């Protein structure tokens, strides 16, 4: 049996990368695959009101504690367990406690910026980019942010135009060039997901 493999799943917000990553994890036995989300590593914003926090650019690499994410990926690769932070999108801050994640043969990391940041990109053995049309991404984002993240339509619209879209064009979209595999149409692309899963199963059985 080979050592563990780290698979990165990147793509814009609302692209369906979380669905792809979850479907990959589900295709394996629980002890064989784990998921780590870049979103859990948003930095703690100290001495700021909730209104000030809401205006932070959360789509720039500086907003994420990539040092800690890198350390955690290295620990998982060494067979160690990690305590992943818990992030609350409604308050823009970390919650008390952590989620224990044990190492496994397949480690999947998903996030908008994991290919854009060299310190994370260089740890990835397989890079999958989920490529979805911008109109579908923004529609999904509006629905998700209003239903699950306690946002108003006005706030989603302003954030999209001031930070989400410009940062996607500056960091996320150009990082597609680093992908080994590009999945069109997001999480609904069962054919592409099945092909990746069967390839990984072959790898596991080697
Ligand atoms: O799950 P998804 O990849 O969409 O999460 C990333 C998005 O979360 C970013 O586009 C960022 O704008 C958003 N975000 C937010 N509020 C926070 C932290 C991140 O809207 N406090």
Lookup: tokens for 40 = 């859990």
Please state the rounded mean pLDDT for residues 141-167: 97
pTM: 0.96
17 is in an annotated binding site: yes
Give the least confident one: 8-22, 94-108, 156-170, 183-197.
183-197
For residue 146, pLDDT over 90 is answered with: yes
The protein residue whose alpha carbon is closest to atom 4 in ligand 1 is 13
What is the pLDDT of the chain when averaged over all its residues? 95
The protein residue whose alpha carbon is closest to atom 14 in ligand 1 is 58
Report the residue among 13, 55, 88 best suited for mutation to probe ligand 1: largest number of ligand atoms under 8 A from its CB: 13
Residue 136: what pLDDT?
95
pLDDT tens per residue across span 90-135 = 999 999 999 999 999 999 999 999 999 999 999 999 999 999 999 9
In the reported structure, the alpha carbon of residue 39 is separated from the centroid of ligand 1 by a whole-number distance in angstroms of: 7
Q: Check if the beta carbon of residue 128 is closer than 8 Å to that of residue 179.
A: yes
Q: Check if the beta carbon of residue 8 is closer than 8 Å to that of residue 122.
A: no
From residue 110, how far is each of 45, 126, 153, 158, 200 by CA, in Å?
22, 12, 26, 25, 17
The protein residue whose alpha carbon is closest to atom 2 in ligand 1 is 13
79 is in an annotated binding site: no
Ligand 1 neighbour 92 (Cβ under 6 A):
yes
What count of other Cβ atoms lies within 10 Å of the Cβ of residue 161? 10
Q: Give dist(CA 25, CA 104) in Å, integer.
A: 11
Q: Give dist(CA 204, CA 60) in Å, integer.
A: 35
* CA 79 from centroid of its chain's CA atoms: 21
Please state the rounded mean pLDDT for residues 1-25: 91
Ligand 1 neighbour 87 (Cβ under 6 A):
no
Q: Give dist(CA 91, CA 198) in Å, integer.
A: 40
Ligand 1 nearest atom to the CA of residue 111, by list position: 3
Residue 204: what pLDDT?
81
In the reported structure, the alpha carbon of residue 140 is separated from the centroid of ligand 1 by a whole-number distance in angstroms of: 13
15 is in an annotated binding site: yes
In the reported structure, the alpha carbon of residue 151 is separated from the centroid of ligand 1 by a whole-number distance in angstroms of: 12
Q: Is the ipTM of this complex over 0.95?
A: yes
Q: Give dist(CA 125, CA 91) in Å, integer.
A: 34
Lookup: tokens for 108 = 């999947």
The fraction of the chain above a pLDDT of 90, given in percent, is 92
pLDDT-derived band at 85, boundaries 50, 70, 90 = very high
């Amino acid at each position: 049996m080979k050592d563990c493999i780290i698979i990165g799943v990147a793509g814009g917000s609302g692209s369906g990368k979380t669905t792809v990553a979850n479907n990959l994890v589900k295709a394996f036995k629980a002890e064989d695959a784990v998921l780590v989300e870049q979103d859990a590593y948003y930095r703690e914003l100290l001495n700021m009101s909730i209104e000030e926090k809401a205006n932070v650019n959360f789509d720039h690499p500086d907003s994420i504690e990539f040092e800690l994410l890198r350390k955690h990926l290295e620990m998982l690769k060494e067979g160690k367990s990690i305590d992943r932070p818990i992030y609350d999108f409604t308050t823009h801050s970390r919650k008390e406690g952590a989620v224990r994640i044990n190492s496994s043969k397949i480690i999947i990391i998903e996030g908008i910026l994991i290919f854009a940041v060299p310190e994370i990109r260089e740890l990835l053995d397989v890079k999958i980019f989920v490529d979805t049309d911008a109109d579908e991404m923004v529609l999904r984002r509006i629905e998700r942010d209003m239903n699950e993240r306690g946002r108003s339509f006005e706030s989603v619209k302003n954030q999209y135009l001031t930070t989400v879209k410009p940062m996607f064009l500056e960091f996320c979209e150009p990082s597609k060039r680093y992908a080994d595999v590009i999945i069109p149409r997001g999480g609904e692309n069962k054919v592409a997901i099945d092909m990746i899963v069967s390839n990984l199963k072959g790898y596991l059985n080697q």
